[in-house]
Amino acid sequence: MMNRQLTPVAAAIAFALAFHSIRAAPVDGASASSAKAASAATASRNAAVLQQLPFGDRADFEAARRGLIAPFEGKIRNANGEVVWDSHAYDFLLDDTAPATVNPSLWRHAQLNSNAGLFKVTDRVYQLRGMDLANMTVIEGDRGLIVIDPLMSTETARAALALYRKYRPAAPVVAVIYTHSHVDHFGGVRGVVDEADVKAGKVKIYAPAGFLGHAISENLFAGTAMFRRGMYQGGSTLPRGALGQIDAGLGKGAPRSATITLIPPTNLIAKDFETHVVDGVRIEFQLTPDTEAPSEMNLYLPTLRALCMAENVARTMHNVLTPRGALVRDAKGWSRYLDDSLVRYGDKAEVLFAQHGWPTWGGEGIRTLLADQRDMYAFINDRTLHLMNKGLTPNEIAEAIQKLPGELDKKWYARGYYGVLSFNVRAVYQRYLGFYDANPANLDPLPPVDSARRYVAAMGGSASVLALVRDAIAKGDYRWAAQIGNHLVFAEPDNKEAREAQAEALEQLAYQSEAATWRNMYLSGASDLRQGVPELATRATEDLVKAATPAMFFDFLAVRLDTEKAQGHDMTLNWRFDDVHQSFALTLRNGVLTQREGTQHAKSDVSVRMNKSVLDRISLRQLDFATALRQGDIRVEGNAGKLTELLGMLSTFKPAFNIVTP
């Protein structure tokens, strides 16, 4: 029998079952008017870079433009008329001379990433580049098109396919390949295929084993924190320009106000090597789990002698641990998979292309690239372990490893535009030993605000610390200025002079950064200090919500549970989803929510029955709990007050939390 006890409190818990928004529409940043010019120290440091690297080597500029059929120029808009992608936003990069506010090496890389349009890679293989963060590759099959990685949004993917069809045969898409589980490589799938055709068997979708679970979980369990940190990493709220965001390392950035979708794969690649004939094209898949993504694969096209390295090879050092946050990657394993590719395909491939950046043509260049990036990740792993076993701590190791060995340091594709050497070696330390550096003084440190107040007092008070920050800035000692300035801001977050001084220190560090990601993070911090945290317009992504399993839903429910509120409210619940024939036994005990799948409690406090489709609608805020209950979409038996208690103890995460202030 249904118990109506839930109805009086339904308004308070209408969205209690909903997933938090796993994507958000970026918000335009404040103008660059509050930004300062490059200091003399920064200008001098950036000028020195011109003498340290081979800027006379223009081969990459030729390669990045090679095969251009048609440039992309203009704007891509969503259904509401909002600009999703603007090819002219980076026109300021047309100046060959880097301004003093940008590291010349990063300026060069940002120029290369600005090449946008339709490019021929080799016979039957084409790429759409510069129309999203990633590349979309099109292979011409016997009957239609095979699309590799349909970008991040439906709007950019649709525009990219339209540009291809304007200059190439307007054939149907008969297959899609997701190389890995990151959203910029699958989110635009509905812009190139109709799900009805997938369900009818007209279109196959290939993906590496574990793809769906990883694609969803990365955006769910730590999604709010990852999204907020990702805004810093990508500089999504910064103005575009020489004082703001100029690049994202792997590409220009993510599309704004865009539609992210997902159609589940129909064919999973589960073996180390599998060969499939896709629309007449023979493709060998090389599974590479736990490399750049937990679920990833490379492709080799033997008849075309073309090697696709997914995101395992890029025109930059990649991240062993991405600053936005993720599981630490296995640098040693990554290196071994690159060597496997070198051994298996190095003497065969005549062109290597990837899902970011531009291709490499010629066997010698391909073998050198694979060997160099293999050596790079092996060095990051092995040298870190070497120094770790000598007793050095993470920060000491980062300071000790200033550059890559041998000729690697001068190779443009080994520079840290996206991943950074000092950050990556600390990630390796974390993978093997965790965050603790073995010094007992760091076992139980004071939280940031408490420790900051004590530091400021010990240094003679806020006026004294502010003077030290300004003195460090005047001397060009920005790392020290930022370190002590952070203490002052956390001790006195309303101190405007302290915030501005800290913003100036972060800003100069940004101007000096070779990494697009570090530049964006420093500038985002400076912006928050000056302007405050921007409001974020959030929204859920329908396909990811629908693809999430009920087990994932309950795992996330456990994450959202406020343990302090839940203690003393022990209960058992049975939950069944009739349309997918899945049952769960939930137990709330000691303030902890656990689940067992495929079973039910012999005796429970409350039982809930519903369809997974109803849960999806609630998660997408298309239906509220009270209405679903009233309509009979949710059926509750037993003590419904217990369910009310549980839902009332869930927290809702908001991504606009502070980072550079307490």
Contact 244, 32 (CB under 8 A): yes
154 and 280 belong to one structural domain: yes
555 and 455 belong to one structural domain: no
The token pair at 498 is: 């302290």
Residue 644 forms part of a structural domain: yes
Domain CATH for 601? 3.30.1050.10
Residue 122 forms part of a structural domain: yes
Contact 636, 611 (CB under 8 A): no
pLDDT score recorded for residue 619: 85
The token pair at 375 is: 């050596």
122 and 169 belong to one structural domain: yes
Give DSSP secondary structure letters for 368-424: HHHHHHHHHHHHHHHHHHHHHTTT--HHHHHHH--S-SGGGGG-GGGS-SSS-HHHH
Q: How many domains is the chain partitioned into structurally?
A: 3
pLDDT score recorded for residue 9: 32
Domain CATH for 475? 1.25.40.880
Residue 349 forms part of a structural domain: no
* Residue percentage of the chain with pLDDT more than 90: 88
51 and 188 belong to one structural domain: yes
206 and 65 belong to one structural domain: yes
180 and 297 belong to one structural domain: yes
Closest CA to 157 of 298, 255, 89, 249: 255
496 and 580 belong to one structural domain: no
pLDDT score recorded for residue 19: 38
pLDDT score recorded for residue 235: 95
pLDDT score recorded for residue 30: 45
Residue 346 forms part of a structural domain: no
- Which residues of the chain are under the pLDDT cut of 70? 1-33, 537-540
11 and 139 belong to one structural domain: no
Residue 135 forms part of a structural domain: yes
**Residues 6+ away with beta carbon under 8 Å from 97:** none
Cα 383–Cα 385–Cα 388 angle in degrees, nearest 5 = 110
Among residues 252, 281, 312, which one ends one of the domains? 312
The token pair at 143 is: 């009957």
473 and 594 belong to one structural domain: no
Residue 454 forms part of a structural domain: yes
**Residues 6+ away with beta carbon under 8 Å from 153:** 84, 132, 187, 188, 191, 255, 258, 259, 260
Contact 601, 572 (CB under 8 A): yes
User: What whole-number distance in Å separates Cα of residue 372 and Cα of residue 361?
Assistant: 16
122 and 245 belong to one structural domain: yes
228 and 88 belong to one structural domain: yes
Residue 34 forms part of a structural domain: no
Host domain of residue 561: 4-19+548-648
Residue 526 forms part of a structural domain: no
Residue 564 CA neighbour count, 13 Å, CB half: 1
Give DSSP secondary structure letters for 309-326: -TTTS-SS---SS-TT--
Whole-angstrom CA distances from 470 to 72, 445, 477, 598 are 46, 27, 10, 63
Largest CA distance in the chain: 79
- Determine the straight-line distance between the first and last CA of the chain, rounded to whole angstroms: 49
User: What whole-number distance in Å separates Cα of residue 279 and Cα of residue 263?
Assistant: 20
**Residues 6+ away with beta carbon under 8 Å from 198:** 204, 205, 263, 266
Beta strand 606-610 pairing with 571-577: parallel
Whole-angstrom CA distances from 68 to 64, 119, 352 are 9, 4, 17
Contact 15, 652 (CB under 8 A): yes
The token pair at 247 is: 């690049």
458 and 581 belong to one structural domain: no
Domain CATH for 184? 3.60.15.30
pLDDT score recorded for residue 634: 94
Place of tokens 């990630």: 427
User: DSSP secondary-structure letter at 660?
Assistant: S
pLDDT score recorded for residue 539: 65
Q: pTM for the full model?
A: 0.93
Among residues 312, 334, 361, which one ends one of the domains? 312
User: What whole-number distance in Å separates Cα of residue 379 and Cα of residue 385?
Assistant: 10
